[in-house]
């Protein structure tokens, strides 16, 4: 078994060299080159089915790889830390790309994932700093933890229908990411998924999502608009912490938990609408009075008076504009006003 390389020296191509792999080094139909670290352009021959674990790992000068249609699997860390790798074609025949397969390939600019790959595994493209374009096919069902973490040149991502889960830190630190499309069918957004996506301006969470994890959008400093649809029941700790451009949030019916510091540090927040049946709001869930602009109003519909005691514990500063519709006694209203430090309350009639 052999492969061909075209080394470059002083800008000139040398003659192609054949390097033979002893049967002891590679089993039939499988390829492992981890004993070679200095080559530039690789063409893998037709007939190879698997690219073994760490086959090209830490190859210092690898620039491009051509993979034939016979390959069905790229194993974990196959191209790990190939920092000069700019171009690699992944053929349609590939059904599995292993964990950390392209980890820290800092010069890789674009990638097309084949249709038959169902899972983008952990760390697959993590620290691919130059990756600006990625095509995720309809066949993908899961994007695992840290799959695209720190892909700081990635501008936009369309997540196809069929994906049910987005793993922890999957897009964390994608600082150039402007837009993400999350389809119906995604059921959860894990912890830290989009943390520090500094260029992300807006986000719509589809109805299928039931959980928004801890720090999932933490420090998305350009985020201006967040629409949460339908069936979310859980908003985790620090979920939107530090989203300082966020101006309004509508929290849908069905949410029963808003975590600690969930919206803390959202200094531009001017409107929050909270459902009446919410059962648990942790401390510092919303910005305190020193961070909120004076125009900040939180609307809260209430059914009973027990919430009054809870307010002082949770330190949520609220102006009630809809209380008169609830037939709440004036004495209760004034008690609430003292708790939330509001001096003037005028009836609001829509």
Report which of residues 271 and 326 the model is more confident about. 271
For 148-171, what is the mean pLDDT? 94
What phi, psi does 310 have (nearest 5°)? -70, -30
Percent of all residues in the chain with a pLDDT value above 90, rounded to a whole number: 54
For 234-251, what is the mean pLDDT? 91
Asked if residue 21 has pLDDT above 60, the reply is no
* Residue-level pLDDT at 49: 93
Report which of residues 292 and 180 the model is more confident about. 180
Q: Give the three-state DSSP class for 310.
A: helix
Asked if residue 22 has pLDDT above 70, the reply is no
Burial of 281 per CB tally in 10 Å (0-12, 13-18, 19+): buried
Domain ranges of the chain: 1-99
Q: How far apart are CA 243 and CA 292, in angstroms?
A: 13
Asked if residue 339 has pLDDT above 80, the reply is no
For 97-122, what is the mean pLDDT? 96
For 299-322, what is the mean pLDDT? 38
Report which of residues 43 and 216 the model is more confident about. 216
Asked if residue 293 has pLDDT above 60, the reply is no
């Amino acid at each position: 078994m052999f492969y061909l390389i075209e080394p470059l020296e002083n800008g000139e191509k040398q003659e192609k060299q054949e390097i033979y792999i002893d049967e002891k080094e590679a089993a039939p139909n499988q390829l492992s080159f981890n004993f070679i670290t200095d080559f530039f352009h690789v063409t893998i021959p037709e007939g190879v089915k698997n690219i073994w674990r760490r086959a090209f790992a830490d190859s210092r000068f690898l620039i491009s790889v051509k993979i034939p249609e016979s390959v069905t699997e790229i194993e974990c860390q196959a191209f790990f830390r190939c920092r000069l790798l700019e171009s690699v074609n992944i053929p349609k025949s590939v059904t599995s790309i292993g964990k950390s397969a392209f980890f820290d390939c800092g010069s890789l600019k674009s990638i097309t994932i084949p249709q038959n790959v169902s899972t983008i595994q952990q760390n697959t493209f993590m620290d691919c700093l130059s990756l600006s374009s990625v095509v995720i096919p309809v066949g993908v069902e899961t994007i695992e933890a840290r799959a695209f973490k720190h892909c700081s040149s990635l501008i936009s991502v369309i997540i196809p229908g069929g994906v049910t889960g987005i793993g922890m830190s999957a897009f964390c630190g994608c600082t150039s990411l402007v837009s993400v499309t999350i389809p119906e069918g995604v059921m959860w957004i894990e912890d830290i998924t989009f943390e520090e996506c500094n260029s992300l301006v807006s986000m719509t969470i589809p109805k299928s999502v039931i959980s928004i994890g801890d720090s999932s959008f933490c420090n998305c400093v350009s985020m201006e608009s967040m629409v949460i649809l339908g069936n979310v029941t859980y908003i985790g700790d620090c979920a939107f912490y530090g989203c300082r451009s966020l101006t309004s949030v509508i929290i849908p019916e069905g949410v029963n938990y808003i975590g600690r510091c969930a919206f803390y540090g959202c200094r531009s927040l001017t409107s929050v609408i909270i459902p009446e049946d919410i059962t648990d709001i942790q401390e510092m869930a919303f910005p305190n009075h020193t961070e909120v602009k004076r125009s900040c109003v939180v609307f809260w519909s209430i059914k009973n008076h027990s919430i009054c005691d809870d307010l002082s514990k949770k330190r949520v500063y609220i102006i009630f504009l809809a209380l008169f519709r609830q037939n709440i006694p004036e004495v209760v209203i004034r008690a609430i006003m003292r708790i939330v430090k509001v001096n003037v309350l005028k009836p609001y009639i829509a």
